[in-house]
Each structure stands twice: as structure tokens, then as C-alpha cells.
Amino acid sequence: MLTKTPHLFDEATRVTAGDSRWQGQTSENYWAFVGPFGGATAATILRALMEHPERAGTPLAMTVNYCAPIEQGDFDLDIRLVKANRSSQHWCVELTQGGGEVATLATAVFAERRPSWTHQPAPFPHGKSFEQLRPFPKMAATWANQYDFRFMEGNPDFSGTAPPAEPASAYSKLWIGDRVPRKIDMLSLMSMSDAFFGRVFHATRAMVPFGTVSLTTYFHADADDLAAEDTTRVLAVADAKIFHKSYGDQNGELWSPNGRLLATTTQIAYFKA
């Protein structure tokens, strides 16, 4: 059953409007090893944009650059509408704390999505159902414990006890849902696009120092599409193309159980290995 009390994700991404800036607060429930989970930060920024009185249309694309560590506590969101026309809006958001320098810089595009010709050449990544798979064990990072990960392929081994002679595959296929079920919406898509474990963890089979530097997500469904899907989980695939000189990429897809491609995402991340 869906929770009847405020979901922890909604509490973690809650924002309040100010005179010139919006405010948010980090959540202990969505904490990584040295800072807040980047997906929750991105979703908080997206929530502020979606609740902004000047916002028109639905999220089409969002890029989040994590410029500096975010400390535990309150933060400010300086939101600016850069350009708007009849069919799209371009936004810029700066996250700061205590009047300091920018810690996170985001840009977003909102668009009026109208009926058109539709074609989805991307193949649906078939596999075992959610119910046929076991949940991934809980981890030290609290953000990961807010999600129910069920791996079909690429089940990660973070023990580091048996490093592979050759790098292991960075590919994984899995179901992702909130551990306390919550209907998939634009905010959860934004957050789940960063919920893949670092590809370098899979390739090295070790939990090496890691952090997302820049994340871009493209939305291929709007609120009406998601309401029609009426699901609490997505089928997700992720892979990497290169690890080189302390940085590696990641590309991912988020699908509805009915075979609709909901979002695609790519990121560049720092690692030390």
C-alpha cells in the first residue's frame, strides 16, 4: 500500500518560497557518505521549479553540476527564468549555503508538449519481473536504503576481496522503486536517474572514492503519461563507455513496466582508483 503519511522523499525535497530566493534543507534519510544524495538535491531543485508561479509546461531536460560539497542543513535556491517563448522556458538555479559560493548549479528546460507523431525505436530491456527478484541488501549510505533495488544483471559486489583480473562489466539491469512505495512522478524520475551505483564500483568490484560532477536527464513523458502508467517502479539499465584519468561516464534509461521509455540520463563522475 502507498503510505498515507508524508513520504520521506517528499519531506526530503520540500521547498519554501521566499522573497527573492527559495529555501530547502538536506535530509539525513537521503545522505550519501560525505553529503546529500545528488538525486535528492536534483529533485529538490526540480520541485522548486515546478512550484514556481512563472513555470509553464513540463520538464523536458535538466542538467545539474555539483560544484562543491553541500553541508548538512539549510540551503538557498536562487531561481532565474533566463528565456521564455510560446513553447519553452529556460531556467537557471544556483544553490548556496549561508551566503557563500555556489555549491550546485542547475539549468532546466520546460516545454509545452503537444500531441504529435510518436515512434519509440529503442527496444524494451525485457527480464524477470520485480516480484521474481530479491531486494538488494541495505547499505551504510542512508539514501540507498530508501530505494528497493532488484538486480537482473550486474548485481554489484562491493566487497573488494577478490579484485577481478580484468575489469568487470559496468552494465546493470534492475528494477528501482521507493522502499516505501510511491507513485512515479517527475520528481522521482529525476532522483532515480542518479540512483544507479557508480559504474566504477561495478568495474572494479570495490567501493572506491566517487562523486557525480555533472548529471543530465531528458524526460520523455509528462505528468499525464506518468499518471496513465500508474506505477511505483521503473526498469532501469545503465552502462559506461570509459574510465580515464580520474573521470568516468555513465548512461542510463528508465522504463515503465509497460514498456514506455520515461527518461534517459548521462553523467560524468570523479573517481579515485
Tens-level pLDDT at each residue, the chain (273 residues): 454 678 999 999 999 998 779 999 999 999 998 899 999 999 999 999 999 999 999 999 999 999 999 999 999 999 999 999 999 999 999 999 999 999 999 999 999 999 999 999 999 999 999 999 999 999 889 999 999 999 999 998 876 666 678 899 999 999 999 999 999 999 999 999 999 999 999 999 888 999 999 999 999 999 999 999 999 999 999 999 999 999 999 999 999 999 999 999 999 999 998
Extract the runs of DSSP E, i.e. beta strands, from the chain: 16-17, 22-25, 58-66, 74-84, 88-96, 104-111, 147-153, 172-178, 210-219, 233-239, 243-244, 247-255, 261-271
Strand pairing of 210-219 and 74-84?
unpaired
Provide long-range contacts, Cβ within 8 A and 24+ apart, for 163-171: 163/204, 163/205, 163/206, 164/204, 164/205, 167/203, 167/204, 168/202, 168/203, 168/204, 168/205, 169/202, 169/203, 170/199, 170/200, 170/202, 170/203, 170/238, 170/239, 170/240, 171/202, 171/237, 171/238, 171/239
- pTM for the model stands at 0.95
DSSP of 181-222: -----HHHHHHHTT-SPPHHHHHHTB---EEEEEEEEEE---
Residue 48 is inside which H or E element, if any?
helix 38-51
**Alpha-carbon dihedral sign for residues 4, 37, 33, 17:** negative
Q: How far apart are CA 10 and CA 29, in angstroms?
A: 11
Pair 68, 105: CB distance under 8 Å: no
Query: Rounded distance, CA 257 to CA 240, Å?
Result: 24
Rounded Cα gap, residues 202 and 193, in angstroms: 17
- Specify burial of residue 121 (Cβ count, 10 A radius: 0-12, 13-18, 19+): exposed
Alpha carbon 79 to chain centroid, angstroms: 20
Q: How far apart are CA 44 and CA 207, in angstroms?
A: 27
Query: DSSP state, 237?
Result: E
CA 117 remoteness from chain centre: 28
Residue 1 has what pLDDT? Answer: 47
